[in-house]
Amino acid sequence: MVWSTLAQHLLTKPRAPREAGHSTAAALAERLQNLSNEKLGRSLAIRHVDAGSCNGCELELRAIQNMVYDLTQYGLSFTPSPRHADVLLITGVAARNMAEALRQTRAAMPDPVFTIAVGDCAVDGGVFKGSPAITGGADSILTVDLMISGCPPTPGQIIDGLLSLIEAHTGGK
């Protein structure tokens, strides 16, 4: 039963789109070159930090790991430990109450670190922009390398963004 449902849906579900934004990819490629990419290899481990989300972005981050999107097929995986992580992926606004925890997570990660802001909140504060309880988007606390907008971005958009990082990483090969 499971196999028949699975087969049927493998056929009917469109694959997630894979094109990455070329300008982003080019910019990242340059940056990565300077940061000795051979040390990282192709696989990237991601540490996620929710710095003040509504939890909508987390739902879609979890969705990219389900069997439809299967994030690991791209060599990407989430890790609980910042020590093992190459990518710091931030969702939510930069809530004042999370600023210290976010800084400590970054400090615990070995360089080089690529920082990605996922969702409108992390990009610039989203609808919460201007609230005194927040300092803005993720870039109000850390330097951000890549932004993926959307409220929340769809799993396809998140994977697109992450792929642009990988493609930059491997020089597009």
Alpha helix segments (H runs only) across 19-133: 22-33, 56-63, 99-107, 120-124
Q: Find the shortest distance in angstroms from Cβ 92 to ligand SF4.
A: 5
Binding site for ligand SF4 (CB under 6 A): 53-54, 56-57, 91-92, 119-121, 126, 151-152
| Binding piece for other proteins, criterion CB under 8 A, among 15-23, 27-35, 150-158, 160-168 | 150-158
Q: Cα angle vertex 55, ends 81, 80, to 5°?
A: 10
Contact string 43-62 vs other proteins (x = CB under 8 A): -----xxxxxxxxxxxxxxx
Question: Closest distance between ligand SF4 and the C-beta of residue 91, in Å?
Answer: 6
| 50 burial type by CB count under 10 A (0-12 exposed, 13-18 middle, 19+ buried) | buried
162 contact partners, CB below 8 Å, separation of at least 6: 46, 71, 74, 76, 116
Nearer to other proteins, 89 or 163 (CB): 89
Partners of residue 115 on adjacent β-strands? 88
Q: Is the CB of residue 7 less than 8 Å from the CB of residue 67? A: no
CB atoms within 10 A of CB 116: 23
User: Which residue minimizes CB distance to ligand SF4?
Assistant: 56
User: Of these partners, other proteins, ligand SF4, none, which one is at the site of residue 37 (CB under 5 to 8 Å by kind)?
Assistant: none
Site residues (CB under 8 A) for other proteins? 1-2, 5, 9, 13, 48-63, 65-68, 78, 80, 92-93, 95-101, 103, 105, 127-128, 130-134, 151-152, 154
